[in-house]
Every structure is written in C-alpha cells, then in structure tokens.
Amino acid sequence: MSDHNTLLAAARAARENAHAPYSNFRVGAALRAKSGVVYTGCNVENSTYGLTVCAERVAIFKAISEGERGFDAIAVVTDTDQLTPPCGACRQIIWEFCGDVDIILGNLKGKSETHRTSTLFPKPFDSSFL
C-alpha cells in the first residue's frame, strides 16, 4: 500500500501542473514502470476540447517516448468527492501499453481505491483481434 501512496502523491503533485482553463477539472497521473521509474502527467486542455490530452495518456506517452516498456500501476488524482476513473480513451491506452495493471484512484481528501484494468475495461480491443 505504501507503493500506492507514493504513486498517489506523485499524481497529486502532477495535478498542480494541469492546464485546465475551460473545465477547471485538473487531473494528475503517475505511472510506475517495472524498472521502478515513475512518470507523471497532467491534463492539458485545448479550446477545441477534442485536442485535449488526459493526464493518464500524457504519463504513458512520456514513458514510452523515453524508451520505457512494462508498467505495473498507474494512479489518477482529481479534486472530486467521488473518485474519478479514466475515460474510455485512457482505458484503451492503459490496456494497450500497460495491460491488466492496478489503477489507483484518489482525491485530494485522501480517499483512494484500487481496481484492475480488466475490471474497469472488461472487453478491450487489442491486437488479438487483428
């Protein structure tokens, strides 16, 4: 659990860098590679909304762009009472690049819970269909 707390703290800190002038919905993510390195990300909004990038995807793409492969957990932190799971696009990216990992949801009040990707995304599309 302390590993999860470390990831939640990193996601909470990443959230501070969010660029969310339109929705004011700031999200932070922290992705732990099997190497032990933690990659963080925050949401970056665009006035067209369609070009907005979620915190989870920023963290994953940052890790991939740095040559990292193989991940075991990702934490997502928002400032909501009800814990906020990744959107559908992020669930697909998490499945594609991380597989069935722990997804740790947290808020600024210290509430958290952990789910597996397969629980939040029970019938994913992947290369097995190609």
User: Is 56 assigned a catalytic role?
Assistant: yes
Q: Which residue reads 């302390």 in tokens? A: 2
Catalytic residue (choose from 16, 45, 56, 113): 56
Give the CA dihedral 60, 66, 69, 72, nearest 10 degrees: -50
Read off the tokens for 99.
């597989």
d(CA 94, CA 35): 17
Please check whether residue 31 is in contact with residue 11, taking contact to mean a CB–CB distance below 8 angstroms.
no
Which sequence positions are flagged as catalytic? 56
